[in-house]
């Protein structure tokens, strides 16, 4: 079974703090993703990575950065947290497209971040 | 207009009912269609995966794709309280790109 773990289930931070969200997958997947999920807006892609040290912006990258130093680990960084970044953050991973057409993304349990 | 539209619900049904969940989409290039189930305070988990038009059945779940109408459905037979969750549809254009486009999710509640 694919296992995607996230470092915290719940996190409370103050405005202006630097926040690190960690994600680790154990299936040797090439691709990793960070989403945020908000009521009425669904899942929105923040950043994704197809390989170590590679990253690409998703639909809402402003205010976020990412780091992928090892294949199994993908970190999301909020440089200076703001209240509008209060949300559920979900990490996902998948194998390289083209290996199996039925491959899709597998999600972690999420981190509920509150910025006060 | 969003690429994928999904009624947010909530949808409340009695145990044993047949449930129909739906999504419409605007981009005819979508070919791969998925349904995810998300329990409260958990991450989404893949439930069904279909390619192009047609039906796919897995136990009490049937996924249906009608590309001509740009409409996908998930049917749940003999619904159980344990089916209470949010159901998200997702789709992608081809298998050599892994960017998924998600619906906003439909919250389903099955009461005993």
Write down the mean pLDDT value for chain B: 91
CB B11 within 8 A of CB B111: no
Residue given tokens 């047949």 in the structure block: B18
CA–CA separation, B9 and A108 (whole Å): 24
Q: Considering only residues 23 to 52 of chain B, which have any Cβ-Cβ distance to chain A shorter than 8 Å?
A: 32, 34, 36, 41-46, 49, 51
For B27-50, how does the pLDDT look when each residue is reduced to its tens digit (9 = 90+)?
888 888 999 999 998 899 999 988
In chain A, which residues have their Cβ closer than 8 Å to the Cβ of B98? 31, 94, 97, 103-105
Per-residue confidence (pLDDT) for residue A98, from 0 to 100: 54
Per-residue confidence (pLDDT) for residue A66, from 0 to 100: 97
Q: Does residue A85 belong to the interface with chain B, where contact is any CB pair within 8 Å?
A: no
CA–CA separation, A93 and A82 (whole Å): 27
Best residue in A24, A88, A96, A104 for a mutation probing chain B (most B CBs within 10 Å): A104
Is the CB of B104 less than 8 angstroms away from the CB of A41?
yes
For A74-85, how does the pLDDT look when each residue is reduced to its tens digit (9 = 90+)?
999 999 999 999
Q: What value does the mean pLDDT take over residues B10-39?
A: 94
In chain A, which residues have their Cβ closer than 8 Å to the Cβ of B45? 107
For A24-68, how does the pLDDT look when each residue is reduced to its tens digit (9 = 90+)?
999 898 889 999 999 888 899 999 998 898 899 998 999 999 999
Is the pLDDT at A100 greater than 70? The verdict is: no
CB B100 within 8 A of CB B50: no
Per-residue confidence (pLDDT) for residue A94, from 0 to 100: 87
Is the pLDDT at A112 greater than 60? The verdict is: yes
CA–CA separation, A69 and A106 (whole Å): 20
> Which of A40, A104, A108 lies at the smallest CB-CB distance from B46?
A104
CB A97 within 8 A of CB B95: yes
The secondary structure element, H or E, covering residue B57 is strand B54-58
Closest C-alpha to A35, from B36, B78, B65: B36
Structure confidence at residue B92 as a pLDDT band (50, 70, 90):
confident
Is the pLDDT at A102 greater than 80? The verdict is: no
Write down the mean pLDDT value for chain A: 91
The CA-based angle B35-A106-B65, given to 5 degrees, is 20
- Residue A1 or B62, more confident: B62
Dihedral through CA A27, CA B4, CA B30, CA B91, nearest 10?
20
Listed range (A53-62, A89-98, B2-11) with the worst mean pLDDT: A89-98
Q: Does residue B77 belong to the interface with chain A, where contact is any CB pair within 8 Å?
A: no
The number of C-beta contacts closer than 8 angstroms across A and B is 56
CB B65 within 8 A of CB B33: yes
Per-residue confidence (pLDDT) for residue B95, from 0 to 100: 62
Q: What value does the mean pLDDT take over residues B56-84?
A: 95
Q: What value does the mean pLDDT take over residues B82-89?
A: 96
Beta bridge partners of A74: A23
Q: What value does the mean pLDDT take over residues B47-75?
A: 92
Per-residue confidence (pLDDT) for residue B6, from 0 to 100: 93
* Length of chain A as a residue count: 116
């Amino acid at each position: 079974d694919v296992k995607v773990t996230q470092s915290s289930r719940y996190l409370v931070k103050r405005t202006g703090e630097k926040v690190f969200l960690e994600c680790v997958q154990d299936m040797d997947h090439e691709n990793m993703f960070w989403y945020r999920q908000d009521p009425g807006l669904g899942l929105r892609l923040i950043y994704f990575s197809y390989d170590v040290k590679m990253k690409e912006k998703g639909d809402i990258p402003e205010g976020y950065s990412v780091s992928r130093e090892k294949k199994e680990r993908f970190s999301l960084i909020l440089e200076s947290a703001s209240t509008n970044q209060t949300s559920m953050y979900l990490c996902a991973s998948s194998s390289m497209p083209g290996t199996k057409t039925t491959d899709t993304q597998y999600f972690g349990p999420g981190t509920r971040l509150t910025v006060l | 207009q969003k690429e994928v539209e999904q009624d947010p619900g909530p949808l409340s049904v009695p145990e044993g009912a047949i449930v129909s969940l739906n999504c419409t989409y605007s981009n005819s290039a979508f070919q791969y269609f998925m349904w995810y189930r998300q329990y409260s305070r958990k991450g989404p988990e893949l439930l069904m995966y279909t390619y192009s038009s047609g039906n796919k059945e897995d136990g009490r779940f049937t996924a249906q794709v009608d590309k001509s109408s740009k409409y996908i459905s998930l049917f749940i037979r003999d619904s159980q309280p344990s089916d209470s969750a949010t159901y998200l549809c997702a789709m992608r254009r081809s298998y050599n790109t892994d960017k998924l486009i998600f619906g906003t999710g439909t919250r389903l509640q099955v009461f005993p």
